[in-house]
Amino acid sequence: MTGNPLWPHLATIVKIVDETPDVKTFRVVLDDPGARENFRHRPGQVALLSVFGQGEATISISSSPTRRDYLEFSVRRVGRLTGALHQFEEGYKIGLRGPYGNGFPLEELRGRDLLFVGGGIGLAPLRSLINYVLDRRDDFGSVEIVYGARSVADLCFKEELFTVWPKAPGVRVYTTIDRPEYGWDGHVGFVPAYLAELAPSGAGRYALICGPPIMIRLVLQELAGLGFPPERIVTTLELKMKCGIGKCGRCNIGSTMVCTEGPVFNLARLQALPPEY
Amino acid sequence: MSVTTLTAGVMSREDLARLLAGPASEGQLTAPVRVAPEVVLFVPVRDPDAITLDYVNSTVPPKEYLFPRAEKILGWRGSGPQPELVLPPEPQPLVLFGVRPCDLRAITVLEPVFGGPYPDLYWRRRRELTTIVGLGCTEPGPYCFCVAWGISPVAAPEADLMLTPLEPPAAGGYLVAVQSAKGEELLRRSGVGLEAAGTEPGVLRERRAAELTARFRRLIDPTGVERAAERLFEHPYWRELARRCLGCGICTFLCPTCHCFNVIDRTAPDGSGGRYRCWDSCLFERFTLQASGHNPRPTRAERLRNRLLHKLSYHRTRYGLEGCTGCGRCVAACPVNIDIAEVVADLKGLMT
Ligand code: SF4
Ligand code: FES
């Protein structure tokens, strides 16, 4: 059914990476060459993944659109559908539709210094933008990445985090875990506290944050103290979505539909919304 | 929206049976039938005599013929690793007779939801295959307040054929406005001819509308109520009102403009299956409950506020259209008398 926005494309899983005990990254390729060609996303956008028989889930696209041979989705096992997906093997097929949502404001970010602040699986949407920035390195200023998880095992994208990103020009990566651990000589402590220690200046810089709600709340306070104005603090919301296209009525905050007008908001816009997210 | 009337003329009461005879014999007619003393439903009708014309409005709106309660949107064979997708069954052509102006307006209210940048092909296909015969009202019901939303109780542009009863009770025949090619086709195939109306059709309709409007008992003026979304969002009013809400969702299931849905997969023992979209309600706790356990609308107060402000404000902000049509069904059916017309008056009172 072409032109039917609720009709998923079939996609084949070509690679599965175990990120953490409960997160796997699925690299998929759309079966139909035309669909592959037409699928153009922006970092920060989402797609709906189908496990036929289990339904659909909204998952942010964690790969960068600059890498066009595949799409990647980092999925935490939280329920029935994601549990079933975690049982899948390479070669299995899923359904995929999208991309949906606004994505990060690339035009606005061009030429700017960027501070990424992530917690746990919250690094997934940021990763798409980080790799985009690294693939278009000259278009952006400096990049700092502050990322934390409960434990070493819970850190996502370890290879990029420890090997690829720190080597990229003009990139600094600061990783922390919540509690001390044998063999870890890096920083220990929560992300907001680490951020306070690092104290990056808000002058001219954009902050892009994603993580658990409590982390986001505390990080927002820190950033305000560091001189980041609300317009330059950007975050992504995760609301329950069923359709992704503004019809099922599930993801609204007042008259705003997160699936079509979000999930990326700057703090100024977020503060203008009714407090219902 | 302006009414495009291709032709208008008068037909007799007897002609109505002729108009519907063809679709009825072909199994394509859906019309109001009194299925229990207090219950009128739109159901498939083979014998036009089964149709009732004596109803204020149907108990359940005819919305479900364009947006079914449960609709298969996709199927597959061989689930698991190698599924093959299959099309859902194609809907059948339909003549929907007897739709009231409030429920006709609801179609316009829903159009931008199912249209827009991601057009919903299921809705659109049913719209294409359905010929709608609208029927103007002869008496407002105790809960009706369509006129408050600028709806004429006797005419509506959404119908393919709009029938306006000429004398109460509808014994004197109908003024028929042909408003689309589909309407014209239905009329042509039935062989019913329209006679010239003695008076200009527009004038006739206005006169009937004015007579009826004078008989409405629920008079509200919703002007400006949409501002409650900004001004009263955190007012204790909502918690107070929601104290008696049961969260049963009846109001949403009877609303001609509610469109929330859930998507559910069903699998047969052989691994084949289908994806269905089913009506859902923003009044249910699980509607917005996230896998993490977080719920942005955790109590009935947030949920009832969402439903009411969606009707009275959000829809208008998004699409420039009022979300309520004044059909009064939610008011009549709510077990604890939560009354959207009263809510309008309350909110306006709180804002003055
Ligand atoms: S019908 Fe009444 S009680 Fe039931 S959910 Fe609606 S407002 Fe609440
Ligand atoms: S997910 Fe359906 S309206 Fe946003």
Put simply, whether B213 touches A (Cβ < 8 Å) is: no
A112 and A30 in a common domain:
no
A211 and A128 in a common domain:
yes
Could you give the number of structural domains in chain A? Answer: 2
Q: Hey, what are A232's tokens?
A: 């330059």
- Please report, as a single letter, which amino acid is at residue A22: D
Residue B1 scores a pLDDT above 50:
no
Q: What is the pLDDT averaged over residues A218-222?
A: 93
Considering chain A, what is the average pLDDT of its residues? 94
A205 and A119 in a common domain:
yes
For chain B, strand residue ranges (E) read 7-11, 29-36, 39-44, 70-77, 84-86, 94-99, 130-135, 161-165, 174-178, 261-267, 273-279
Put simply, whether B300 touches A (Cβ < 8 Å) is: no
Q: Which of B275, B276, B277, B283 to mutate to test the interface with A (most CBs of A within 10 A)?
A: B275
Handedness of CA B218, B160, B318, B331 (dihedral sign): positive
Cβ of B340 less than 6 Å from ligand 1: no
Contact by Cβ (8 Å): B21, B190: yes
Residue A2 scores a pLDDT above 80:
no
Distance from the Cα of B139 to chain A's closest Cα (Å) equals 34
Please say which residue of A99, A121, A144 terminates a domain: A99
Q: Looking at the partner chain, which of B81, B120, B282 has a beta carbon nearest the beta carbon of A91?
A: B81
Ligand nearest to the CA of A242: 2
Contact by Cβ (8 Å): A100, A260: yes
Q: What is the pLDDT averaged over residues A201-215?
A: 93
Burial grade of B339 (CB within 10 A; 0-12, 13-18, 19 or more): middle
Tell me the pLDDT band of B135, cut-offs 50, 70 and 90.
very high
Rounded to an integer, what distance in angstroms lies between the CA atom of residue B194 and that of residue B173?
A: 11
Domain harbouring A29, CATH code? 2.40.30.10
Contact by Cβ (8 Å): B14, B195: no
Task: Tell whether A244 is covered by a domain.
Answer: no
Please say which residue of A99, A126, A142 terminates a domain: A99
- Can you give the length of chain B in residues? 352
Residue B170 scores a pLDDT above 50:
no
Radius of gyration of the CA atoms of chain A, in A: 18
Q: How many A/B residue pairs have CB atoms within 8 Å?
A: 126
Cβ of A240 less than 6 Å from ligand 2: no
pLDDT in tens, B228-238: 999 999 999 99
Residue A1 scores a pLDDT above 60:
no
Question: Which residues from B are below 8 Å from A101, CB to CB?
Answer: none
Q: Looking at the partner chain, which of B85, B260, B273 has a beta carbon nearest the beta carbon of A10?
A: B85
Q: What is the pLDDT averaged over residues A226-238?
A: 93
pLDDT in tens, B184-230: 999 999 999 998 887 888 888 898 999 999 999 888 999 999 999 99
A230 and A116 in a common domain:
yes
Question: Which residues from A are below 8 Å from B271, CB to CB?
Answer: 53
Please work out, in degrees rounded to the nearest 5, the angle formed at the alpha carbon of residue A197 by the alpha carbons of A195 and A198: 65
Global pTM reads 0.92
Handedness of CA B301, B306, B312, B314 (dihedral sign): positive
Atom of ligand 2 nearest to the CA of A242: 1
Please say which residue of A99, A131, A161 terminates a domain: A99
A198 and A145 in a common domain:
yes
Rounded to an integer, what distance in angstroms lies between the CA atom of residue B246 and that of residue A43?
A: 42
What's the confidence (pLDDT) of residue B253?
A: 97
Q: Looking at the partner chain, which of B73, B113, B309 has a beta carbon nearest the beta carbon of A6?
A: B73
What's the confidence (pLDDT) of residue B171?
A: 53
Q: Which of A31, A52, A215, A241 to mutate to test the interface with B (most CBs of B within 10 A)?
A: A52
Task: Tell whether A273 is covered by a domain.
Answer: no
Put simply, whether B249 touches A (Cβ < 8 Å) is: no
Domain harbouring A225, CATH code? 3.40.50.80
Put simply, whether B290 touches A (Cβ < 8 Å) is: yes
What's the confidence (pLDDT) of residue B219?
A: 85
Residue of B nearest to A245 (CA): B118
Contacts of residue B308, defined as CB under 8 A and 6 or more positions apart, other chains included, come to B340, B343
A111 and A94 in a common domain:
no
Ligand nearest to the CA of B243: 1
- Domain with A150, as residue range(s), is 106-236
- Please report, as a single letter, which amino acid is at residue B36: A
A123 and A93 in a common domain:
no
pLDDT over 90 percentage in chain B: 83
pLDDT in tens, B14-56: 899 999 999 999 999 999 999 999 999 999 999 999 999 999 9
What distance separates the 2 farthest-apart alpha carbons in chain B? 69
A25 and A69 in a common domain:
yes
A119 and A57 in a common domain:
no
Q: Which DSSP string do the residues of A155-206 spell out, in sequence order?
A: -SSHHIIIIIHHHSTTEEEEEEESS--TT--SEES-HHHHHHHH----TTEE
A81 and A194 in a common domain:
no
What's the confidence (pLDDT) of residue B4?
A: 58
Tell me the pLDDT band of B87, cut-offs 50, 70 and 90.
very high
A133 and A19 in a common domain:
no
Task: Tell whether A48 is covered by a domain.
Answer: yes
pLDDT in tens, B59-81: 999 999 999 999 999 999 875 67
Q: Hey, what are B89's tokens?
A: 């069954």
A221 and A133 in a common domain:
yes
Residue A126 scores a pLDDT above 60:
yes
What's the confidence (pLDDT) of residue A47?
A: 97
Distance from the Cα of B115 to chain A's closest Cα (Å) equals 9
Residue A219 scores a pLDDT above 90:
yes
Q: Which of A49, A93, A255, A277 to mutate to test the interface with B (most CBs of B within 10 A)?
A: A255
Distance from the Cα of A38 to chain B's closest Cα (Å) equals 15
Atom of ligand 2 nearest to the CA of A251: 4
Q: A187-188 and A171-177: which strand pairing?
A: parallel
